[in-house]
Structure 1
Amino acid sequence: MHFTTLITPAILASAVLATPTKSQNKRAATTICGQWDSVATGTYVVYQDLWDESAATSGSQCSTVDSLSSETLTWSTSWSWEGASSSVKSYANVVVNQATGVELSTISSIPTVWDWSYTGTSIVADVSYDLFTSSTATGSNEYEIMIWLAALGGAGPISSTGSTVATPTINGATWELYSGPNGDTTVYSFVAATEQTSFSGDIMDFMNYLIQNEGLSDTQYITSIGAGTEPFTGSSAVLTVSAYSISIDTGSSSGSSATVASATSAAVAAAKTTTTSAQAQAATTSYKAAATTSAVSEPATTSAASTLVAASSTAQQATTLKVVASTSAASPATTSSTSTTTVAEWGQCGGSGFAGSTTCASGLTCTYQNDWYSQCL
């Protein structure tokens, strides 16, 4: 997610937060196409966030909010982007306004439902939740936790070593956990081993895993929860979200999942207002990489799927990286010998906190990109 919206925490007057209003006022769907446009509906805000559209040689993107009924939002985003294959162009996403300034230790569960589909040609993109936390309710981000439901055509999170930290089973699925620094932010990314196009689970299961296994403090506060897609390149792409809901349940935490409410079947539009987000115009960029010649071209009726390349999102630095696609999500882009390990072209070879090999393959030079990332070129 490429921006963070910080909202003064509301008084926790009940045990459930972030439940959208149950408005049954029927309105027409609202479509936004501007770089920083947003649509507020209930306690959700859908953001365009075309933060690096200027990197594309051509293309455009629009997002549509269709309806809100009870806690379930229906929306979509359509895009075509060409050029700068190593650069994410946007992060169209939905944010829950009231899911901010809540300490992890007070949360019993974060139930969520996300049903989605992707169509288009040569899609290189991800579909992911993106959470930020801080040691204070309105402080600067210290941790970013991403939950990748899919890495389409080649997208994956930053890693200090290029290898997975663990492969936990959460919510009945296997996830590949990566971690690494991104400026002053520590990034943890759970990447689904298989696409999760109909996800129903508890986000706190992921947070509790980090608390119990990776030393994440339960005194951290959530500053933002988003859910959306980051496109690199592709054409006639459409992410359709047929159901999305999320809420925060507070109270005594046992570390177990809460029952997730079923997505409602009604599709009645709620009141919406289109605004321009000042927060979205802040320094909200990312380290990212896209697949190059390995990107899979898919027909317009199927989901693009395939290989993984190193990448990450952050709201700290404006840097674009390029990484060669790999055929294995668990394997770093390196070649090994019995005496030394060399890093292949585009692979990471240095940076603050990096613990992998700093020796590039023959003919390549470890090139400084920023304080947290160098790569073999």
Structure 2
Amino acid sequence: MALSLIVNAGLMALPIGGCLGTLFGIDAHRAATGQRPLFAPNPNDPDENRGTGSSGGGHDSTGGGHESSGGDVSDNGIQTYPYCQLSYGITPPSIDGESFTLNPNQWNVKKDSDKGALCMNVTTFNNMTYPTKYSAPDFSVTWQFDPGPETNPVYAFPNIMVDKVLPVGLDDMQELYLNVHWTYGVGDEIATTTDESELTANNVNTNVAIDMFFDSDKEKAQNSTSAKYEVMVWFGMFGPSTQPHGYGTIVTTNQINGTKFDLYSGTNTATDQNVLTWVSEKTVEQFNGNIYPLISDLYNLTGSVYPSKTDYLGYFGFGSEAFSSDKNVTFGVTNLEIGIKT
């Protein structure tokens, strides 16, 4: 049989501020142009849904609710709304039902934190007039945080998560197709291209990554804190604080469609998970190819720190880990397609 999900995102450059000073400035601009103020309550978003992030592990992708209406709705049913909650599942309507969920996922930010802020801007089509039935909403993330403690430097993992088709056995997969185009830039708008020197000048520490969880148990594979293995694929790594577990010792390498990936292996002591991270040799804003070999390579390695081909993939998310930055930065995804086929 064939089991597939294709997610396609075409991103509008809608600014949204990351630190409070800029957020208020943008708030004034939105009010002047007739848009909903950033800090006005969403009628479908009660206060209790603005609560804390994950209960542990650092990669909670479900939130306090599932948003399907509210925000600014135009005559043709297009909704644009910024989500600044710590954790909130945004599941837009789709032709075939739920197929993906977006989340600001500020799992390591406390309500009383004064060290920065993060907002995810999502544009959805309430009348479901997406280009295809697999199209994802446009989204971007703007944030700014002061450096955290060396032992716990990540504040958030805003991401889009694949729903409905998981879990799936690793050995049952024939292809894990990915077509993505993203950029990172200093400021409140989506950059045309990533200027790495500007990110360095502003002490930006972040990455752009796929995050997956594996386990021999189907239920545990779907839980970010219970799964035995966390497997990541990094397409961008910025700043000295942004390093994968086990960084410094390359286990093996693989090359897909001209992109070389190095594998690092380590342990997340907070969750007692084996963390396996493929890091692209250089920043890759655009990638199109089958990344399943990055999974099959793992269960061909020897040792208990590597998953088995009889294990399950229970979670797949694409996003950016927010470490720290001197100024607001914006992560934008202008195209995203994901196909998981068995």
TM-score normalised to the size of structure 1?
Answer: 0.58
- Against the structure 1 CA distance between its residues 213 and 229, is the aligned structure 2 distance closer, same or farther, given a 3 Å change threshold? same
Q: CA deviation at 1:116?
A: 0.4
Q: Which amino acid aligns with 1:91?
A: F
Q: Which residue of 2 aligns with 1:49?
A: 105
Match of 2:301 among 213, 233, 250: 213
Whole-Å separation in 1 of the counterparts to 2:266 and 2:239: 22
Aligned residues of 1:131 and 1:226 also touching (Cα < 8 A): yes
Q: Say if 2:285 is the partner of 1:197.
A: yes
Q: Which amino acid aligns with 1:218?
A: K
Q: Secondary structure at the match of 1:225?
A: strand
Structure possessing the higher radius of gyration over alpha carbons: 1
CA RMSD of aligned residues (A): 2.3
Structure (1 or 2) with the greater strand fraction: 1
Match of 1:63 among 104, 109, 120: 120
Which of 235, 247, 268 aligns to 2:339? It is: 247
Q: Which amino acid aligns with 1:226?
A: G
Answering whether residue 245 of structure 2 is matched by residue 158 of structure 1, we say yes
Offset, 1:174 = 1.3
Q: Which residue identity does 1:136 align to in structure 2?
A: D
| Superposition pairs of residues 1-377 of structure 1, within 5 angstroms | 15-19=2-6, 26-41=77-92, 42=94, 43-54=99-110, 57-67=114-124, 69-70=131-132, 71-73=134-136, 74-84=138-148, 86=150, 87-120=153-186, 121-139=202-220, 140-154=226-240, 155-159=242-246, 162-183=248-269, 184-214=272-302, 216-234=307-325, 235-250=327-342
The CA distance in 1 between the partners of 2:115 and 2:255, in whole Å, is: 40
CA contact (8 A) 1:125 1:153 kept: yes
1:256-281 deviation per Cα after TM superposition (whole angstroms, max 9, x unaligned):
xxxxxxxxxxxxxxxxxxxxxxxxxx
Q: In structure 1, what is the Cα distance between the partners aligned to 2:114 and 2:149?
A: 10
Deviation at 1:162, TM superposition (A): 3.7
Q: 1:122 to 1:56 in 2, by over 3 A?
A: farther
CA-CA distance at 1:103 after TM superposition: 0.5
Please name the residue that 2:68 is paired with. none
Q: Deviations over 1:160-179 (max 9, x none)?
A: x8411123223321112100
Equivalent position amino acid for 2:307 in 1: L
Deviation at 1:19, TM superposition (A): 4.1
- The code of the aligned residue for 1:188 comes to L
Q: Which runs of 5+ in 2 are unaligned?
A: 9-75, 125-129, 187-201, 221-225
For 2:299, what is the secondary structure of its paired residue?
A: helix
Q: Aligned AA for 1:202?
A: N
Shift of 1:99: 3.8
**AA aligned opposite 1:63:** M
Q: Distance in 1 between matches of 2:219 and 2:123?
A: 31
Identity of paired residues, percent?
24
Q: In structure 2, do the counterparts of structure 1 residues 116 and 93 end up closer, same or farther at CA, with 3 Å as the change threshold?
A: same
Q: Distance in 2 between matches of 1:20 and 1:242?
A: 12
Give the counterpart letter for 1:107 in structure 2: M
Closer/same/farther in 2, CA of residues 203 and 99 from structure 1, 3 Å limit: farther
SS at match of 2:333: strand
Shift of 1:249: 0.7
Q: CA deviation at 1:98?
A: 2.0
- Which residue identity lines up with residue 216 of structure 1 in the other structure? P
Please give the per-residue CA displacement for 1:71-121, whole angstroms capped at 9, x wherever unaligned.
343311011112426311100011001242210111111111111000114
**Structure 1 residues not aligned, in runs of 5+:** 1-13, 251-377
Aligned residue pairs: how many? 234
